[in-house]
Amino acid sequence: MELIKKIFIQLGQLDRRFIFLLIGLSVLIPLLKPDWINIPIKTTTNSKIVFEELNNLKEGDKVLVSFEYGASTKPEIHPMSVAVLQHLFSNGVKVYTVPLWPEGLMMAKYAIEEVVSSDLFNIEEHVDYVSLPYKAGGEIIIRGIATDMRSIFTQDVNNVLLTEIPMMTGINNITDFDFVFDLSAGVPGNAEWVQFACDEYKIPLSSGCTSIMVTDAIPYVESGQIRGILAGMPGAAEYEQMVFEYLNNDTYNKYLNKEAVIVPGKATSRMSAQSIAHLLMVIFIVFGNISYYLIRKRKI
Applying the rule CB under 8 A, the residues between 121 and 180 that interact with other proteins are 134, 136-137, 139-140, 143-144, 147, 151, 153-155
Rounded Cα gap, residues 143 and 15, in angstroms: 50
Q: How far is the CB of 40 from other proteins (least distance, A)?
A: 6
Do 196 and 169 form a contact (C-beta atoms < 8 A)? no
Q: Contacts with other proteins: how many residues (CB under 8 A)?
A: 80
274 touches other proteins (CB under 8 A): yes
Scanning 32-40, 50-58, 90-98, 119-127 for contacts with other proteins by CB under 8 A, the matching segment is 32-40
What track of x and - describes contact with other proteins for positions 220 through 259 (by CB under 8 A)?
--xxxx-----xxxx-------------------------
| Cα 145 from Cα 168, distance rounded (Å) | 13
- Does the CA dihedral 89-91-93-97 come out positive or negative? negative
Binding of other proteins by 199 (CB under 8 A)? yes
Residues in the chain: 300
Pick from 212, 245, 248, 260 the residue near other proteins by CB under 8 A. Answer: 212
Q: Give the count of beta carbons closer than 10 Å to the beta carbon of residue 45.
A: 8
Binds other proteins (CB under 8 A): choice among 7, 127, 260, 285 = 285
**Quick check: 229 and 46 in contact, CB under 8 A?**
yes
Distance from C-alpha of 25 to C-alpha of 277, rounded to nearest angstrom: 9
How far apart are the C-alpha atoms of 259 and 120, rounded to whole Å?
Answer: 8
Q: Determine the 3-state secondary structure of 195 from DSSP.
A: helix
4 binds other proteins (CB under 8 A): no
Which span sits near other proteins by CB under 8 A: 49-57, 103-111, 242-250, 257-265?
Answer: 103-111
Site for other proteins in 42-61 (CB under 8 A): 42, 44-45
CA distances 288 to 5, 159, 292, Å, are 12, 58, 6
What distance in Å separates the CA atoms of residue 183 and residue 53, rounded to the nearest whole number? 15
Residue with smaller CB distance to other proteins, 57 or 180: 180
Q: Does 292 bind other proteins (CB under 8 A)?
A: yes
**Judged by CB, which is closer to other proteins: 72, or 122?**
72
Smallest gap from residue 14 Cβ to other proteins (A): 8
Q: Is 114 in the site for other proteins (CB under 8 A)?
A: no
- Strand 179-184 to strand 205-209: parallel, antiparallel, or no bridges (unpaired)? parallel
